[in-house]
Structure 1
């Protein structure tokens, strides 16, 4: 079964397209965190970013950078959130690689502050050992 993004790419579902090339498509999110919230969507249906070839992911980040700059110019955004939710535990709703580019403004009340955790004594070193990329 096709994802909603595959249906948008195939033209089965209408969208407001901001950009398109051979690798990706940029559309406005229909359920935006903030008006102007855009999605940079891979044309290939990778379920998560770790399955995307580095060259394609790099290209998508270059496009996200252009979207960011356009938001700052056209919408006078004072900042942006650039996000990839990777698997449902992180909030990914569509199993298809996409990058959120969300315009932000001082005191916009939108948040995005996650509840921070704390390490117990010595625990940070244990996590460091587990996650070290040797």
Structure 2
């Protein structure tokens, strides 16, 4: 399956590449939340976490840790957001697994807001029973 990320990987679309190895590559996001916002992308176009083999997913997270360290050292950010939109209903725009690593600052006035729900009496326990793993 061809995606915008496979086109970037093949050099058909320009990017600023930060890293590449046998499983993943990293680029700067063209529309950053904050400057330095980067994407870590699997080379194979796995559409979701479920489709991604465990070794690749583990490697993706190792790269996220490395990217977090680099952003803190170089940009002196106070924190990072790590975001994977996993499926269309979550807001995933490109069906190719990728992780956003976004540098954050105490006073950057950026928000990620999801509205919250509450459980009715007994409902939380029932969800807990169903979702044990």
TM-score by length of 1: 0.96
User: How far is 1:51 from its partner?
Assistant: 0.7
SS at match of 2:71: helix
Structure 2, unaligned stretches of length 5 or more?
none
Query: For residues 116 and 19 of structure 1, what CA distance do their matches in structure 2 show?
Result: 36
Query: For residues 33 and 116 of structure 2, what CA distance do their matches in structure 1 show?
Result: 21
Query: For residues 102 and 74 of structure 1, what CA distance do their matches in structure 2 show?
Result: 13
| Partner residue in 2 for 1:111 | 111
RMSD, matched Cα? 0.9
User: How far is 1:129 from its partner?
Assistant: 1.4
Q: Which runs of 4+ in 1 moved over 2 A?
A: none
| Partner residue in 2 for 1:33 | 33
Q: How many residues align?
A: 133
User: How far is 1:113 from its partner?
Assistant: 2.8
User: How far is 1:107 from its partner?
Assistant: 2.4
SS at match of 1:119: coil
